[in-house]
Amino acid sequence: MPHIETPEGIRIRYDERGPSDGRPLVLAHGFGVSLEMWMPQMAALSAEHRLITWDARGHGGSSAPDDVESYTMPALASDLRALLEALDAVDGAVIGGMSFGGQIALQYTVDHAEDVRALILSDSTTKGPPGPGAAPSGRPATGDPGADGGMHAMQTRPDLTSSLPGLDIPTLVIVGEHDEMILPGIDRLADGLRRRRIVRLAGCFHGTSGQRPAAWNEAVLEFLEDVDEEADFGEDLTV
């Protein structure tokens, strides 16, 4: 599978399929997996779009630097930028991701809003303020720099809630109706994003794209069609 090397020397493995002249649709995977998690989406989403999936540093076939503190959400977003620049896929891209990948997608969009046509956040929300008396979250170090680095990136990521109102970008938010990890933060997205559609997938927990792939794909394709038609957004749907 092909790869690029970022200016910082990070190898990023990626997969690209669909029409070369289609709009880039870029999806970032969840924590601890790889671009292969998107296999149930690849055929449907690449029919009319230039689908680009990729392995974040520390995952799959990408580099896993030993320095855990080099894994930050801005650094991961910078890796994505380097990939899209190398593939000539920056302008007008649709940027999306699931959970950990959604955090990367949101960071990238905040950093490069002028280049993003639309945003897809699946099973993901902003960090939000710590609750009263909240203890530091985390897990013991595993000795695996990719796993420890990815966890470090999530734990230290900036809270981008205050950046949401400045994003005048159509955004699709997908969440499982039973995802207790993400549901408490959905109101932050609903209140902060100007142009958003929230789709709650019935019967799903965390990992909606794998649990109901056909419904997930349909929600994305309908959203992208409405983006092209410059539709209004603001719905909160359960399907």
Q: How far apart are the first and last CA of the chain?
A: 35
Domain boundary assignment for the chain: 3-127+143-238
pLDDT of residue 134: 44
Q: How far is CA 57 from CA 19, 77, 104, 116, 147, in A?
A: 27, 10, 11, 22, 10
Average pLDDT over residues 112-122: 98
CATH fold label, 3-127+143-238 = Rossmann fold (3.40.50)
45-65 per-position pLDDT tens digit: 999 999 999 999 999 999 999
149-178 per-position pLDDT tens digit: 999 999 999 999 999 999 999 999 999 999
Q: E-strand spans in 46-146?
A: 50-54, 93-98, 116-122
d(CA 36, CA 51): 13
4-35 per-position pLDDT tens digit: 999 999 999 999 999 999 999 999 999 999 99
- Rounded to two decimals, the pTM is 0.96
For residue 131, is pLDDT > 90? no
Residue 102 sits at the vertex; the CA angle it makes with 226 and 38, to the nearest 5 degrees, is 80
